């Protein structure tokens, strides 16, 4: 395995496609449909990278998860990547000011996503 990735997205198809792409590139994947599930997963396992939708239809914002991660001394160094269907200037500015590592727009370029994740893991381990 090349590392463990936590993927958080409420859309089952998106979660399935990301999981499939990552597993075919030899990553272990933990999937969560919302922030609450993601927080439960983080109590059990520590991923090498976290990928999360930036805006959930339920009204939750991925920034809430990001803030929790960055506020936790044990988790704060985990690279965080947002996937988003609408990468508007405001979202990008907020994310970059908070220190978000990457934004990946939908539709997702899976080759790019794998390259980003591989680079984040490589940088952390070297």
* Cβ–Cβ under 8 Å, residues 17 and 112: no
Averaged pLDDT in 10-residue chunks for the chain of 126 residues: 92 95 98 94 96 74 86 95 85 85 92 96 86
Range of the domain at 73: 12-46+56-109
∠ CA 32-29-71, nearest 5°, is 60
Whether 5 maps to a domain, the answer reads no
Please tell me the distance from the alpha carbon of residue 72 to that of residue 68, in angstroms, as a whole number. Answer: 6
pLDDT at 61: 72
pLDDT at 60: 62
Q: Is the pTM of this model over 0.75?
A: yes
pLDDT at 3: 95
Whether 78 maps to a domain, the answer reads yes
Coil/strand/helix, residue 111: helix
102, 107, 105, 97: which is closest to 117 by C-alpha?
102
Give me the number of domains the chain comprises.
Answer: 1
Whether 24 maps to a domain, the answer reads yes
CATH number at residue 23: 3.40.50.2300
Q: What is the DSSP letter of 85?
A: S
Whether 4 maps to a domain, the answer reads no
């Amino acid at each position: 395995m090349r590392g463990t990735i936590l993927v958080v997205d409420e859309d089952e198809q998106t979660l399935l496609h990301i999981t499939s792409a990552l597993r075919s590139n030899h990553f272990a994947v933990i999937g969560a449909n919302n922030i609450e599930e993601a927080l439960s997963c983080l109590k059990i396992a520590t991923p090498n990278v976290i990928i999360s939708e930036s805006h959930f239809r339920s009204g939750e914002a991925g920034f809430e998860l990001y803030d929790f991660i960055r506020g936790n001394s044990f988790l704060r160094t985990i690279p965080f990547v947002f996937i988003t269907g609408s990468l508007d200037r405001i979202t990008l500015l907020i994310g970059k000011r908070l220190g978000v590592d990457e934004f990946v727009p939908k539709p997702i370029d899976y080759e790019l996503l794998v390259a980003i994740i591989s680079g984040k893991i490589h940088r952390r381990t070297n």
